[in-house]
Amino acid sequence: MSGRGFLGTNASVLADISLVLGITVAVLLTIGMLLAVMKRYNAHRWVQTTAVSLNVVQVLAIMVASFFKSAAPGIPQKLGETYYQAALIHAALGSITLIFGTFVMLRGNKLVPQALRFKNYKLFMRSAYGLYIAVTLLGIWVYSVWYAGAAPAVAAGGQAQPVAQGQNQLTVPMANFVFNPQEVVIAVGTTVTWVNQDGAPHTATADDGTLFKSDLLSKGQSFSHTFDKVGEFRYFCELHGSAGGVDMAGTIKVVPAGQAPQLAAAAPQIAAATPQPTPNPLPAKYFGQPSGTAAFRDDKGRSDQVAVNLRVDTPPPSGQALFAFLTTLDGSATQPLGELTIDGGGGATGTFNAPDGSNLAARFNRFVISQEPAGSRPATPSGPPLFEGVLPGQAAQFLTQLLANGPGLPAQQGYVAGMRLQTDELLRHASFLTDAQAAGDLAGVKRHAEHVYNLIAGSLDAKFGDLNGDGRSQNPGDGFGLLQNGSQAGYLRATGEAATAAKGAPDASDSVKAHSEHVLICTENMQEWAIEARDLALKLAQATDLAAVQEAPARLAQLSQWIQRGNDANGDGEIAPVPGEGGGLVAYEHAQFMAGFGLFPFKAAGAPDAPLVLAIFPVAPASAGHGHQH
């Protein structure tokens, strides 16, 4: 049901069905409205009930899953794009309409308590009808934005088209976990070249497994195949899809010479998928009474953003303003951040991004706020410094290991940053596995189970390799593993050890000590879940009958979600850094808190020592949709 739809656009079958259902609901509601005008109230009630019930099925069976799979991953970081604005507006108004319309329908059937049976039925009915029509029109707009033109890459800003590189040659980009576009029409004799533009590896494999089958393609690598027969050939990525059009899949339609459409002549530029942003920082209280805090978080890259909250007892004089700077203790590098916004209640705030998306936590260990001319753009703090924060030097080396440069890793990145990338990929493959199960694809289940096992276990694990017996060893991870394997500590142990070392540093602040405990608790939770997930993946990779492992895919998906996001064990709607709850997102956020700055009034040379820097202390978990509330 995830293949190309029947309306001639880039939409899937489910998207086309949803559009048709939405229009059908609007037509039925209009008929029902006319029946009410004609005073045929019984017929009106049955038509409206049918329409609203159909809409409930449409939303629950199709639209909720579609929104969270296609649109939600791009919110809020992609809200500047029409794709995501349209989807969010439609989802918000649609939710209101669903609740209100269902209530009116139940009232019309006398299925609500007496106290809720409003008397002015006409007003409520007309309001519900107006909302449904508005949502239907919005739905048509969303459909046209997403599918009537070039299809957007899911949760990313890039778009692509098939590109003619010469006579009888075609390039299909693999970008943001999509073959873009999913379907192309070519003339017989054309050579198709797939180019991986993602950070994750991909393959291009024919559904029959024999016509063409690429090796594992890393970023920048390509694979080509010449189609010398007329026909329709479906293919998929072995790591991120399954045969039959499931998830990352595509179709090549080969037609006789002269019947293929004209293709673009120049290669497009595809925006690479950016890291998933960090949740907004937790609400903070002032521990040890610093004047404020500066917290790292993600925007387009890892720790490339700083959020500042400052208490200002005396505002700057007229014509002056407060400016924020990141710098080093030796003054060798400075990053101007910009002017703070001062409110009427004695607070100053600002959110600043690295212009090049670089990791700010890796480069700077001092935060300065100085007074400068309002509207100016100072490159360095030249006016009087008013506030500063300094990272504890001995603990800072371990904070760098966590967030920017962990020794022994396959690529330069922090332990907790690498852990987050691997857990994101783990959750993705667990989802692919359940999709393959739903499609009755045993080979797909076994293949994705191999991916999950190898990613968790690491390349030095004794069982790492070809677990499903297809003669190929595939691993979507980077080989370091989540769990310890041979001489490799694995991301969970490495993250926990770096957090523990930071806590034990002689100059560790209370903030570093507290948040290191939170990180350690989360990695211990994740290790317990990862061991169970690894063992389940091995069982699935070696399965010979789907019926014998019917419950395992769902449990594996649940464990993968816990590893990546955490588990609301006590059902209070919050995921906290406590045993049995905190997962990867919580660990990552608290590692960033460890590297945050507590801001104190500037101490001139020779003045008495001020307390060491203290960073953010949470008083409540972060908002829903960021992995802490649900």
C-alpha torsion sign, points 316, 321, 326, 328 = negative
494-539 confidence digits (pLDDT tens): 999 999 999 999 988 888 888 999 999 999 999 999 999 999 999 9
Q: Is 109 helix (H, G, I), strand (E, B) or coil?
A: coil
Task: State the residue for tokens 């995921």.
Answer: 575
CA distance 77 to 73: 9
Which of 90, 131, 136, 108 shows the shortest CA–CA distance to 44? 108
Contact between 613 and 270 (Cβ < 8 Å): no
Residue 2: pLDDT above 50?
A: no
Would you state the pLDDT for residue 12? 64
CA distance 84 to 252: 29
Predicted confidence band of residue 380 (pLDDT cuts 50, 70, 90): very high
Would you state the pLDDT for residue 391? 87
DSSP assignment string, 488-550: B-HHHHHHHHHHHHHHHSTT--HHHHHHHHHHHHHHHHHHHHHHHHHHHHHHHHT-S-GGGGS
Residue 284: pLDDT above 70?
A: no
Residue 607: pLDDT above 60?
A: no
Q: Is 167 helix (H, G, I), strand (E, B) or coil?
A: coil
Average pLDDT of the chain?
82
Predicted confidence band of residue 9 (pLDDT cuts 50, 70, 90): low
Mean pLDDT of 587-606: 82
Residue 306, burial from CB neighbour count under 10 angstroms (0-12, 13-18, 19+): buried
Q: In Å, how far from its chain's centre is CA 296? A: 18
Backbone phi, psi, residue 402, to 5°: -70, -45
Q: Is 28 helix (H, G, I), strand (E, B) or coil?
A: helix
Residue 623: pLDDT above 60?
A: no
Q: Is 264 helix (H, G, I), strand (E, B) or coil?
A: strand
pTM of the predicted structure, to 2 decimals: 0.61
Which of 595, 574, 570, 601 shows the shortest CA–CA distance to 585? 574
Mean pLDDT of 66-72: 64
Would you state the pLDDT for residue 10? 52
29-44 confidence digits (pLDDT tens): 999 889 888 988 889 8
Would you state the pLDDT for residue 200? 72
Least confident of 13-27, 83-97, 300-314, 485-499: 83-97
329-349 confidence digits (pLDDT tens): 888 899 999 999 988 777 889
Question: Is pLDDT larger for residue 156 or for residue 31?
Answer: 31
Would you state the pLDDT for residue 299? 84
Would you state the pLDDT for residue 281? 46
Residue type, 137: L
Would you state the pLDDT for residue 538? 96
* The two three-digit tokens of residue 387, written as one number: 């506030």
Would you state the pLDDT for residue 539? 95
Least confident of 218-222, 383-387, 417-421: 218-222
Which of 28, 31, 33, 52 shows the shortest CA–CA distance to 107? 52
Would you state the pLDDT for residue 613? 40
Would you state the pLDDT for residue 306? 92
Task: State the residue for tokens 């649109």.
Answer: 71
% of the chain exceeding 90 in pLDDT? 37
Residue 245: pLDDT above 70?
A: yes
Residue 487: pLDDT above 60?
A: yes
Question: Is pLDDT larger for residue 583 or for residue 116?
Answer: 583
Would you state the pLDDT for residue 270? 42
472-483 confidence digits (pLDDT tens): 888 989 999 999
SS3 content of the chain, % helix, strand, coil (to 5): 40, 20, 40
- List of residues 6+ apart from 38 with CB closer than 8 A: none
* The two three-digit tokens of residue 276, written as one number: 């998933």
Would you state the pLDDT for residue 548? 85
Would you state the pLDDT for residue 558? 95
